Amino acid sequence: MNMGSRHAFSMPFGAELIAGGVCFRIWAPSVSNMVLRLENGLTSDFCMQRSEDGWHELNLASSSPGDHYRFLLPDGLLVPDPASRFNPSDVHGASEVIDPGAFEWTDDIWLGRPWEQAVIYELHVGTFSVAGNFAGVEARLDYLVELGVTALEIMPVADFPGRRNWGYDGVLPFAPDASYGRPEDFKHLINAAHERGLMVILDVVYNHFGPEGNYLFCYCQEFFNSRHHTQWGSAINFDGPKSRTARDFFICNALYWIEEYRLDGLRLDAIHAIFDNNSPDIVEEIRDAIQTGPGRERYVHLILENDKNQAHYLESRSWQHGLRVGGVAQWNDDLHHALHVITTHEIDGYYADYATDPIMALTRCLAEGFAFQGEPSPFRGGAKRGEPSGHLPPTAFINFLQTHDQIGNRAFGERLCQLVSPAALEAVTAILLLAPQPPLIFMGEEFATHQPFLFFCDFNADLAQAVTDGRRREFAKFAKFIDPATRECIPDPNATSTFATSKLDWTLLNREPHSTMHALYRRLLTLRQHEIVPRLTGMSHLTGNTTVSHITPKILRLRWKLGDDSELELLANLGMEQAVEVMPECGRMLFATSNMEKAQPNYLPPWSAIWQLTDAVL
């Protein structure tokens, strides 16, 4: 019988198994002494040895996996391990000693997938299934494969306060939240995904800790830099005195998830909110550590969220022949915003930057990557935003119509299908799923669920009320929420019903119009897999390979030269009126929106899109 392999990442932080016991280490330079307390029914205290640089360490022969422990500060406060691998009783409770090598992996032949094959499905573990846990996601893996997905992008699972949260309020970045399951449950999900050919990418937050349960301030003030201020208080210390340990903490976290959990990549949340004036900065250090470490043996990818559109982060490195090169890509908010303005005509907030000519902004995204490549942003007070991006390949830009942010940051969490016509939705879906850039789908989008995805959390009483009040104040600047009574209708983030309302209803798959939309996604993703993906390899840049042959305020026409010298052409009418346009004459039809079936020759109906492919001449 072929036994599975075991994977463990050795860290200088936390509880590490050693021969004959456990080594406990914590960096607490702000306190003079630290006591380890074991809490296994009876409590036992053990003094730790402090070094001059602020590390507290203890090798304990009587400890073993399954032990619960906390650290006792001189003032009597008990705190969990900041590098805890698991906190079964939430962020204020004891940490558990975990044997990372106890799980047997059966995916040894898995080396990942090239980034050109990426079709990304973003999901929230707690609302994706009725069970709301890792097992609930695993139960739907076959469905995702049949849909045409190749990569799961899982919203943050790092331990957060309470029973429900989007995940961006995590305070124990090494510990999967207990509401989703134990560490071995997450590993079982990843192993099962690999067995089905699915990549798994985890969303991680390195720009802040959540507002409840972060005890680092109590014993490690050096972990924060008061020179930089954020909405959460002092920034994480990536560039001040004694910053090396904080930098290593997050580099270790990135490598830990990839090596110990065999993840295929990470999405770094909001790197524009990271303050780091070093060179290389922490994002570059993490990228290099991944690419020169686990990325030398298998495909490992890095996704960035970056409002600054800093294209230099996305530039590939040259590696020696034979090494697998993971992708570095960014969520392309510009493309989403342009499409949102085109389809909904909403121009509040950051959408105002795209109101003047959204078709031009969309075209630039498809042809060059970013819409803003150094131009001033009126929404940001005229500040210049972005860097030139046309030299990058299309795989550097992740396109999407919906994400947790773009739905959940609306007051009532409306989906796009509730805001636009079915014809408009079909047209922009066809653009999303067949363009050379990797597409991202947010859970439920593929069957046009009408269920909202709301902002939810589960904080302590005082903080909960502050979050609820703050959420409603945020919308006071919008015209439709000027009336206080209207703002009071915004769902309370801390209410259990807000979370329950956001859970997907999978029975919708068997009803119209949901089944028709699901069939459209399957058809388009099948076309992408068979016709587009095999031709993307070798398409090293957008500029020079993309031609904008025609554009009006409502019509766009683009042609991409793909990696095998074939040509992919898009012709679309994204307006509400019929247009006269010469149809493509060469190439074979890949897809046309359903309203083209009854269209007159050389007429583009409102909200129509045509894709054609011209094979390379041999």
| 426 a catalytic residue | no
Terminal C-alpha separation, the chain:
50
Q: Which of 221, 208, 337, 365 is nearest to 271 (CA)?
A: 208
Catalytic annotation, pick one of 305, 446, 492, 567: 305
DSSP 110-122: -----GGG--EEE
Find where tokens 């004459």 sit: 585
Burial of 340 (0-12, 13-18, 19+ CB in 10 A): buried
Regarding beta strands 603-604 and 579-580, do their DSSP bridges make them parallel or antiparallel, or are they unpaired?
A: antiparallel
Find where tokens 């011209």 sit: 614
Written as six digits, the tokens of 399 are 């396109």
CA 574, 575, 576, 578 dihedral sign is negative
DSSP 129-187: SSS-SHHHHHTTHHHHHHHT--EEEEPP-EE-SSS---STT-SEEEEE-TTT--HHHHH
Distance CA(560)–CA(551), nearest Å, equals 15
State the DSSP code for 105: B
Q: Is 62 left (phi over 0), alpha (psi -120 to 50) or beta?
A: alpha
Find where tokens 């949901």 sit: 514
H-type helices in 11-149, by residue range?
A: 125-128, 134-138, 141-147
| Angle between helices 282-292 and 243-260 in degrees, nearest 10 | 40
Written as six digits, the tokens of 563 are 């990696």
Find where tokens 């090396």 sit: 244
Q: Determine the distance from the C-alpha atom of residue 307 to the mean position of all C-alpha atoms in its chain, rounded to a whole number.
A: 14
| 305 a catalytic residue | yes
Q: What angle do CA 369, 373, 374 make, to 5 degrees?
A: 175
Query: For the chain, what is the radius of gyration of the CA atoms?
Result: 25
Distance CA(225)–CA(234), nearest Å, equals 6
Distance CA(557)–CA(569), nearest Å, equals 7
Which residue type, as a one-letter code, is found at position 48?
A: M
Beta bridge partners of 580: 603
Regarding beta strands 375-377 and 265-268, do their DSSP bridges make them parallel or antiparallel, or are they unpaired?
A: unpaired
- CA separation (Å) from 96 to 37, 44, 66, 188, 249? 12, 15, 6, 19, 19
Find where tokens 């990228």 sit: 287
- Identify whether the C-beta of residue 503 lies closer than 8 Å to the C-beta of residue 127: yes
Distance CA(210)–CA(260), nearest Å, equals 24
Distance CA(66)–CA(75), nearest Å, equals 27
Catalytic annotation, pick one of 67, 269, 281, 567: 269
Count the neighbouring beta carbons within 10 Å of the beta carbon of residue 2: 6
Q: Which of 311, 306, 315 is nearest to 287 (CA)?
A: 315
Residues with a catalytic annotation lie at 269, 305
